[in-house]
Amino acid sequence: MTRPFEGIRIIDVTHVLAGPFAAYQLAVLGAEVIKVEHPDDPDQTRDSGTDRELNRRGMGTSYLTQSSNKRSITLDLKTEAGRDILKRLVQRADIMVENYRPGAFAALGLGYEVMSEVNPRLIYCSISAFGQDGPRGNQTAYDHVIQATSGLMATTGTVEVNPIKFGSPAVDYATGTMGAFALASALFQRERTGRGQRIDLAMLDVAMILMSSHLTGYLRNGAEPKPSGNRHLHATNSCYAAKDGLVMLGASNLRQQRRLWRALERPEMVKRTNEEREHDRDREAALLTDIMQTRTADEWENFFQARHVPAARVRTLAEAIRDPQFATRGVTHRHRSTAGVDGAFEVPLAAFKFAHGGPSIETPPPELGADTDSVLAEHGYNADQIAAFRRTKVI
């Protein structure tokens, strides 16, 4: 069954996380993605990750995460020949994605105006820290810097210990996912209009969208969100210590809190409104603190889930991966081997399934420049020209 983006060609001139992850989302759904890197200064994720030997080989786990189903070529875009090659690639492409400092590609003669003349149907996506305009437009940042800038850090942590950054680069991956959504939308729009598109995607904007309800609340009445750690506004929607670990209760709505108190044989604690819950929070929390210490975390999880009350033992990543549920969902793909990596390894695939024609991985992450010769040959360059490019360090 044909996948959604088969026949779509993407020129991926991105590095680190957000940009490569955006292209990766379309790659697992069938798009042909040609990743472009500088021959002497490749994507920094190639030497980043948990396996130092792979880092030294330029196949770090951070790179492996989002490079399956891609082809790799090298180009020095500071050379005229390198820029000409990129323009030839773009002539036959549907999408070009770049995530360098705003203005950098325009200064090279590779900005949207130039590339849209090369290919009027081109969808040109620029991903940056703060956007292509505004007083911060020329500034650069990474995930944790955006967390600090946006207010996300200030809402994370406890009353005593804050601000705290997220444990994962969530803004980067959210930006990549938003980028994939924007690209898919632009492709759909092009089917109706025949016109290409310019996408300006900013990590800061994504971070603000991640705080949407906080944003609306603050803009309404100035109620600034405060870090509350594992303590929710409602006691039945918070974290408690069990005999051997922590349990996160998720009795969020009125029906669920009713089920929780009745399951604990404390029907007098049931509230009719959320305002009543807020007013009685301290008393509820003190009672739950005592009750939750009477069983293990696993026992409580099973107890509440059997009674349709959301609850879970707080797990480590290793424990979450060992959970049988993870194995049934097909979130990752196992590569048996690839050049530059000894043995098998697993990478994320997608967070959803299709009944047919869904996300899949066919090829492993390539070594730097592994497809340069074949891609250039497909675009009309002969063996002598490719050899000359290599001698002059264009590729």
Structural tokens at position 81: 């020949």
Radius of gyration of the chain (CA): 25
Is residue 172 annotated as part of the catalytic site, yes or no? yes
Q: Assess whether the previous peptide bond of 20 is cis (omega < 30° from 0).
A: no
User: 66 vs 26, 35, 185, 241, 346, CA distance in Å?
Assistant: 11, 11, 21, 37, 11
User: 376 vs 338, 339, 370, CA distance in Å?
Assistant: 22, 21, 12
Pairing mode, if any, of strands 345-348 and 332-335?
A: antiparallel
To the nearest 10°, report the CA torsion of 226, 232, 234, 240.
Answer: -150
CA distance 70 to 32: 7
Beta bridge mates, 95:
10, 123
Structural tokens at position 247: 């349990």
Find out whether 190 and 199 touch, Cβ atoms under 8 Å. Answer: no
Catalytic residue among 133, 172, 200, 342: 172
Active-site residue set: 172
